């Protein structure tokens, strides 16, 4: 069976969906930057910049967000957040940060002809403890007399994996996001989920709460290996005993409608048109691929397509239905793998 971690990167999507919201970013930075630094920032001016500075070959390991903010003096500054979603810390993260900081400064010099302060913050939630130095100078070794000749800067660290529940601060959404990041790799995630979801009761705006709930459930269904679909439903019922089932059905229906609107409209229409010309089988494969891409974002198209091309037409129709309604890419991959002819499964096993 293909490794599901290769099929999608839900951590990147969750991080950006949550922390791109100004109210969440503002609350998060107020609680996880040093108080002395926050005192220098006019947080009312905080706004997200659309730029990303992460190298394409490192996007599976890092995500980033750049916030622009004024100082209390009126001068400009940036807060650069680098999210490391590997399961272990990169010992050269300070070097990566330096490269990205330089790119931001280069952009500022081109556009405004000046350098501004940048506050780097690394968010981490891996399985291993973060034991990497928080200063760039620690990467060097040499005589003390040479120390003035290498760069030096510090970055802040938010290691969600080590916080206790009592240490996780901030408004509801910040707490929920960090708790999810803290437990997402844990074998006890299913046990923690009802309590995490129940925090959303504190949100006054029910429409906003439903939007966050959808983002959370999508993340858990795609990223938490230890949570099954049944456990996800049970967590919803436990967190929302009066209407958990209805909420789950509403969100599932929305995902289904997204599959219909995005998958059928743009996938089936184009895919089946091409299928009339190139054959029903190719049309179904194209339709399934379009539905998966539209619903789940980045998928390894070549790998899945290669499997689909070995599936009989009658089973492709069933898989198309599954692509439209499944809430978890892992579940679809399992059913796809189970549908492979025996010789294909054996061949894959031998090659892997």
Determine the Cα–Cα distance for residues 152 and 344; give it in Å rounded to an integer: 55
Residue-wise pLDDT tens digits, 5-51:
333 488 999 999 999 999 999 999 999 999 999 999 999 999 999 98
CA dist 96 and 203 (Å) reads 37
Mean pLDDT for the stretch of residues 181-204: 89
* Cα 305–chain centre separation: 24
Mean of the pLDDT values across residues 305-333?
A: 81
Above 90 in pLDDT, residue 302? no
Written as six digits, the tokens of 223 are 């990223």
First-last CA distance in the chain:
9
Report the chain's C-alpha Rg in angstroms. 23
Place of tokens 């993340």: 219
Q: Helix %, strand %, coil % for the chain, to 5? A: 60, 10, 30
Between 106 and 221, residue with greater pLDDT: 106
Average pLDDT over residues 150-154: 92
- Mean pLDDT, the chain, whole residue set: 82
**What's the CA dihedral at 314, 315, 317, 320 to 10 degrees?**
-170
The CA distance from 63 to 86, in Å, is: 11
Q: Count the Cβ atoms, other than its own, within 10 Å of residue 64.
A: 22
Render pLDDT for 211-259 as a digit per residue (tens, 0 to 9): 888 888 888 888 888 888 788 888 888 888 876 666 666 665 555 555 4
Arithmetic mean of pLDDT, 152-177: 90
Distance CA 309, CA 305 (A): 6
Give the single-character DSSP code of 135: B
- Ordered by start, the domain boundaries in the chain are 4-239, 248-351
Beta-sheet strands, E only, within the chain: 41-49, 62-71, 76-84, 118-124, 156-159
Least confident range of 58-67, 259-268, 321-330: 259-268
Q: Whose CA is closest to 27, among 180, 212, 170, 240?
A: 170
């Amino acid at each position: 069976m293909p490794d599901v971690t290769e099929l999608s990167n839900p951590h990147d999507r969750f991080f950006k969906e949550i922390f791109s919201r100004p109210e969440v970013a503002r609350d998060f930075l107020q609680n996880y930057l040093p108080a002395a630094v926050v005192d220098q920032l006019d947080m009312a001016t905080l706004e997200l910049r659309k730029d990303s500075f992460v190298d394409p070959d490192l996007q599976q390991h890092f995500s980033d967000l750049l916030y622009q903010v004024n100082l209390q003096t009126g001068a400009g500054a940036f807060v650069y957040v680098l999210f490391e979603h590997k399961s272990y810390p990169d010992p050269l993260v300070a070097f990566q940060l330096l490269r990205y900081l330089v790119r931001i400064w280069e952009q500022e010099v081109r556009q405004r002809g000046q350098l501004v302060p940048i506050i780097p913050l690394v968010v981490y939630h891996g399985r291993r403890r973060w034991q990497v130095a928080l200063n760039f100078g620690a990467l060097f070794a040499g005589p003390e007399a040479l120390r003035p000749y290498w760069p030096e800067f510090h970055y802040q660290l938010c290691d969600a994996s080590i916080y206790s529940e009592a240490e996780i601060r901030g408004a509801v959404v910040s707490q929920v996001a960090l708790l999810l990041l803290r437990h997402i790799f844990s074998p006890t995630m299913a046990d923690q989920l009802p309590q995490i979801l129940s925090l959303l009761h504190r949100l006054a705006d029910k429409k906003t709460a439903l939007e966050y709930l959808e983002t959370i459930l999508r993340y858990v269904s795609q990223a938490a290996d230890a949570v099954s679909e049944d456990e996800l439903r049970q967590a919803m019922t436990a967190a929302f005993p009066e209407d958990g089932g209805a909420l789950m059905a509403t969100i599932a229906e929305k995902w289904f409608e997204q599959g219909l609107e995005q998958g059928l409209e743009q996938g089936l229409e184009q895919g089946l048109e091409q299928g009339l010309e190139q054959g029903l089988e190719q049309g179904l494969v194209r339709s399934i691929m379009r539905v998966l891409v539209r619903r789940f974002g980045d998928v390894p198209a070549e790998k899945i397509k290669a499997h689909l091309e070995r599936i009989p037409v009658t089973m492709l129709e069933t898989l198309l239905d599954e692509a439209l309604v499944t809430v978890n890419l892992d579940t679809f991959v399992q059913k796809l793998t189970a549908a492979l002819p025996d010789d294909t499964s054996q061949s894959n096993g031998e090659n892997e």
